[in-house]
Amino acid sequence: MMSPVQPAVRMLLPHAVALLAVASSVGLLLQWRTPAGDAILVFARVDVLVCSLFLSLPLALELLRRGRSASLGISAAAMFCGWGSAVALMVWASSTPPRGEISEWSLVAIRGAIGLCVASGSVGFANLVARLAGDRRKRDQPQSFHGAIERVVSAWPRRAIFAGLWILVPAVYAHAVATDLQKALTESLQNQRIALAARQADQLSQLAPTQTIDGTPLVTLLPQLQQRRTQLIDQLATATEPTSLGELAQQITTLVQLERHDEALRRIEPLTRGANFHPVALDYQGLCFQRMERPEESMAAYRRSLEFWMSQPDGDAKRSGLVSGYKGVGFAARRLQMRLLEEQAYQQLVEIAPTGEHHFLLAQCYREHQKTRLAAEQFRAAMQQDPSMQSQIEAILATLSMDHFSCLSVPR
């Protein structure tokens, strides 16, 4: 006697097998990487890959799990053709990487095609497994012409939704990832994070190869960053034991640029205490901890730096040391949600060095803390100190009055 659970299990079996097959395909496609190895070919990152493949599955199930579409022959053809086409597309993409003339929408279409091929192959494989497990699905009974039309009309809204999941949602997600990568890449370049910038540029080249970063086309910037990273790695590989503070500082800087923070910290440690103490080492220590997402330790290092410089006679060195220390404390306080300390740090920064950049940092702090009037004052002060920031700040000021109330359009 058949258990009532068995029909339910047999019904769910193809879906479970299809999910497992898609998950396995994710693992296989992860091996297709760009020449530098910093990005997944076509998909750039694993989250984009997972989004594209799994959101193709509902449409493939809709097309291949109903009636004659689930027959043995069609299922076998879907498995071989789907997976074979996906491999062929990846091989083609690896031999013709984006060079700037391929548009973002062309890549959306390629990702959609690969996703649907993988999903179709997975559903075809799942159908075959279900047949071997004893799932004998009844074929659809012959229908009249009007019945067939009625079935197609009733199915199209569902298929339209699945088609949207297949192509539109991954496209929107990939565009959002590309936008975030562009912003992050610009910030990495400003902070001289060469290794991180090279990785971000490689990933962005798989999503939006026609982008420009600060006026430089991505296809030009990417090889420059990769070459610079290689040079830094070679410098460390051939470097001898440092015989002076300057050589040691250069090696530490190179390690930080390559995101090798643990190695940098080991070399910094002897310079933070004892006879070899140097105050700049505390700033490097705080920076490393900051980039390693360890804000408590970063805060401690920057506070030690401030304590040292506050005890020194006035001069340019003291001013530079205090500026670096207060910046570090402000950033760490933000990560630790210590709002009052963050404001105090940036206020001290503006008092010591009232530049456009520092007024801008304080303004951003006030804005995040919902102190709109104070934020506007600091934004205007930043614009007066640095006129080159005018267009950026004017755009921010135009939105300040609507912050937190934009949905109601109530000015403040």
Angle (deg, nearest 10), helices 145-190 and 46-54:
170
Domain around 410: 354-412
Whole-angstrom distance, CA of residue 127 vs CA of residue 119 = 12
- Please report whether residue 205 resides in a domain: no
- Please report whether residue 71 resides in a domain: yes
- Please report whether residue 194 resides in a domain: no
pTM exceeding 0.85: no
Whole-angstrom distance, CA of residue 167 vs CA of residue 149 = 26
Q: Model confidence at 140, in pLDDT bands (50, 70, 90)? A: very low
Residues in the chain: 412
Summarize pLDDT for 199-244 with one digit per residue, the tens: 999 999 999 999 999 889 999 999 999 999 999 999 999 988 887 8
68 burial level (CB within 10 Å; 0-12, 13-18, 19+): exposed
- Please report whether residue 325 resides in a domain: no
- Please report whether residue 165 resides in a domain: yes
The residue whose two tokens read 């058949």 is 2
Residue 124 has pLDDT above 80, yes or no: yes
Strand partners, 33: 40
Neighbours of 60 (CB within 10 A): 26
- Please report whether residue 112 resides in a domain: yes
Number of domains making up the chain: 2
Q: What angle do CA 294, 312, 330 make, to 5 degrees?
A: 30
Q: Which one is predicted more confidently, 90 or 402?
A: 90
354 burial level (CB within 10 Å; 0-12, 13-18, 19+): middle
Strand partners, 373: none
- Please report whether residue 45 resides in a domain: yes
Q: Model confidence at 358, in pLDDT bands (50, 70, 90)? A: very high
Angle (deg, nearest 10), helices 390-400 and 372-385:
170
- Please report whether residue 214 resides in a domain: no
Residue type, 212: T
